[in-house]
Structure 1
Amino acid sequence: MPTQLQPAAPAREVTERLSSTPRGARLARRLARYHLDGWGIPYDSEPSNAAEVIVAELAANAVTHGRVPGRDFELRLTLHADTLRVEVSDTRAESRPPREPERPAPDGESGRGLVIVAALAAEWGVTERPVGKTVWAELALNVQPA
């Protein structure tokens, strides 16, 4: 009897537009944890904590370096199988992160965000948009969501 292939689990996706403010960045982090919990990745699990840090760093960069007054940033989370893709889009195309983040001076007060993202993510990068850019990171969850 031939083996029947099970269809792949459908991707789960959510997109949120948030104000380009520190409050919007905090909300992005909280929304990410909320949606992941709803997808079966519980609060305070290692994958949830790693995703929260990635979202926090990318959202903070969007509101700090990609902010255009009066324009929001966008958070998109896509869960497919055991990979979470985090995308944060802003409307400032001329302010692009470096391909390889440099380690900041030990006493530096900023510059650690992309170093942290690169350490946690399986891959990360930047893509162009018609207006602005999207910084994305993919996180291998090593769990099967419910």
Structure 2
Amino acid sequence: MTVTASAHPTGHPGYTETLPCEEASASAARSLVRTALTAWGLGELEDLADDSCVIVSELVANSSKHTASRNIRVTVSRPTPRWVRVAVVDKAPRSLPAMRTACATDTGGRGLVVVEALSDRWGTDLLGWGKRVWAELRTDVKP
């Protein structure tokens, strides 16, 4: 995968890519996250990069498991110098993410617990044709 874009210190457009709505797209989503963080000079912050990659993987997995969307849109933006936002957009407005408590023997069901633990805040934006599930992480970099 080749990602080409101009680095913007903050704001839009950020980095975005349309991918098939399948778990295998998590790899391309992680690559997009690392590309954006590197362009913004944040690639050396290993905790930020690792946490962002785990979060985007969980969001991609949730869309692929719980929606019938053919494609998803992954975005990485930097709304302010101190925040990075990772989001996955799909076309399933009625399939809202819900945190659940998984039993010790469950093989899944912990994705949003992981997202909540690794992010500073997360949420869902309803769109006219779908939804955006996002998580924000503090960069701890002073502007």
Q: Normalization by structure 2: what TM-score?
A: 0.84
Question: Alpha carbons of 1:44 and 1:130: their partners in 2 closer, same or farther (altered >3 Å)?
Answer: same
Question: Alpha carbons of 1:108 and 1:116: their partners in 2 closer, same or farther (altered >3 Å)?
Answer: same
Distance between the aligned counterparts of 2:129 and 2:114, measured in 1? 26
**Contact in 1 for aligned 2:15/2:32 (Cα 8 Å):** no
**Contact in 2 for aligned 1:72/1:90 (Cα 8 Å):** yes
The 5-angstrom pairing of residues 69-108 of structure 1 reads 71-79=70-78, 80-98=80-98, 101-108=99-106
Uncovered stretches (5+) of structure 2, i.e. residues with no partner:
1-8
Question: Alpha carbons of 1:111 and 1:43: their partners in 2 closer, same or farther (altered >3 Å)?
Answer: farther
Question: Alpha carbons of 1:57 and 1:43: their partners in 2 closer, same or farther (altered >3 Å)?
Answer: farther
Residue type at the aligned position of 2:72: F
Q: Percent identity?
A: 34
Q: CA deviation at 1:28?
A: 0.7
Paired positions, count: 133
Q: CA deviation at 1:44?
A: 6.8
Name the structure 2 match of 1:3: none
Distance between the aligned counterparts of 2:76 and 2:17, measured in 1? 9
Distance between the aligned counterparts of 1:86 and 1:103, measured in 2? 24
More strand per residue: 1 or 2? 2
- Structure 1 stretches of at least 4 aligned residues deviating more than 4 Å after TM superposition: none
Residue type at the aligned position of 1:116: V
Structure of larger gyration radius: 1
Uncovered stretches (5+) of structure 1, i.e. residues with no partner:
1-8
